[in-house]
Each structure stands twice: as structure tokens, then as C-alpha cells.
Chain A
Amino acid sequence: AQSVTQLDSQVPVFEEAPVELRCNYSSSVSVYLFWYVQYPNQGLQLLLKYLSGSTLVKGINGFEAEFNKSQTSFHLRKPSVHISDTAEYFCAVSGASYGKLTFGQGTILTVHP
């Protein structure tokens, strides 16, 4: 069984400040990890994914995440956020079946001017 915990339900931050959205997972098998973003009234868009290889993964819109196996974490970071980054962010994990994703509860990122 797999589970994902996003440690913060809401993260407020000022424009141009750095941000980190935290994600921890548990799984009994090898995992593949993802971050998705959901803008208001939209579906989910993939930001980045970790399948194998380098533990630092770069995604779209200047986001990156680091896979830490020992801490079972996959935190999302951005060095300088914009107003347009305001959205809900979901961490997800899959095992052998790729599209069968287990999602965290989501983190609402609000960027203030």
C-alpha cells in the first residue's frame, strides 16, 4: 500500500520569495513520484516527475524537487515565486502501475504582491 502526506494545507508567501512545499510518502515497493498543479476550475497539470536517476528533478515554470529516499520525501521548491504560481499543488506516488496515482491532500499556495 502507498500513502502520501503533504505537510502543509496552505502556504502563503510574498512574490519573489522562495517557497518549499513538503511531501512525504510511504510505500512497500519502488515508487515513482510526481507533482501536479491545479489552477482554479482546471484539471491537473504535471509539473515534474521522478522515475529514476538524478534525485534532483527540474520541472516546468522554474520548479524543482528533490527525491530523498532515506527521508521518504519529495519536496517541491521554487527560488522566486510569481503571482501566477497561486494554485493548489498535489504530490502523488505510483508503483508498478503508472497512471494509478495515490495523491496527497494538496497544498494551496497563495502568492501575495
Chain B
Amino acid sequence: ETGVTQTPRHLVMGMTNKKSLKCEQHLGHNAMYWYKQSAKKPLELMFVYNFKEQTENNSVPSRFSPECPNSSHVFLHLHTLQPEDSALYLCASSQDTGRVNTEAFFGQGTRLTVV
């Protein structure tokens, strides 16, 4: 148990579907992150939220739409995805983005397959 929980663990969706990934942290953190881990590529930072405000969008296509209703939850809404979007999507949290003496805690990820 890492304190960061992602659901679902696995998701298969068609290119015309709409689905959402959920991430919840029970660590009292204020910053949350979405990362994409594709085969044979480094982990890519997608979005950063700090105190519920989006502070970074790393040129992510609009078919990925994040939502952060509170500091404990972040969602990644998916629509009209492409097969190349198949990857492991990892959520992480940290105390906040301005502190350097804390670590980022990762969830176990959602394995997404787009067919």
C-alpha cells in the first residue's frame, strides 16, 4: 500500500469510447501528477496539479482531459484515443511542488490498451 490508489488497474477501450482513470491519495499531499509510461520510452510527465490548480500541461493532446476536484483526487478523462496511447498511466503525489525535501509517491498505475 503506497498511499496512492489508482483505478482501474487495467482498461481496454475502443477508439470511440470515453473512459476515466481515477487516482486518490491518502497522504495529505497537495500536489498530484499524471505520468505516461510507454514501452521503450522514458516516463513522460503529462500534467501537474498543485493545490487543485493545474500548473503544468506538458503539450498533452486534448483527447486527454484531467480534472482535480480536490487535493486528494485527480482524474484523467479519455476520449477518442489512438492505439499509440496504449501505455501504463501512473499517478503520483507529493507534499506540494514548492518543497524539495519530500518525495513523490506513485500509484500502481492503470494499464490502458486502446483497440
Contacts and interface: CB of A to CB of B under 8 A. Distances in A.
A43 B43 contact: no
Nearest to B9: A41
Interface string B90-113: 101111011111111111110100
Contact of A98 (B2, B40, B41, B102): B102
A94 to B, nearest CB: 8
B42 A99 contact: no
Give the interface residue-count category, chain A. 20 to 34
A74 interface: no
Q: How large is the interface on B (under 10, 10 to 19, 20 to 34, 35 or more residues)?
A: 20 to 34
Contact of A105 (B41, B48, B90, B111): B41
B65 to A, nearest CB: 20
A42 interface: yes
Interface in A62-113: 90, 94, 96-106
Given A32-B100, A44-B106, A46-B103, A99 B48 contact: yes
A90 B48 CA distance: 20
22 contacts: A41-B111, A42-B108, A42-B109, A43-B107, A45-B106, A46-B103, A49-B103, A96-B100, A97-B98, A98-B94, A98-B98, A98-B100, A98-B102, A99-B48, A99-B94, A99-B97, A100-B33, A101-B43, A102-B42, A102-B45, A104-B42, A105-B40
Interface of B: 2, 4, 6, 31, 33, 40-43, 45, 48, 56, 90, 92-95, 97-109, 111
The 4 closest A-B pairs by CB, nearest first: A99-B94, A43-B106, A103-B43, A44-B106
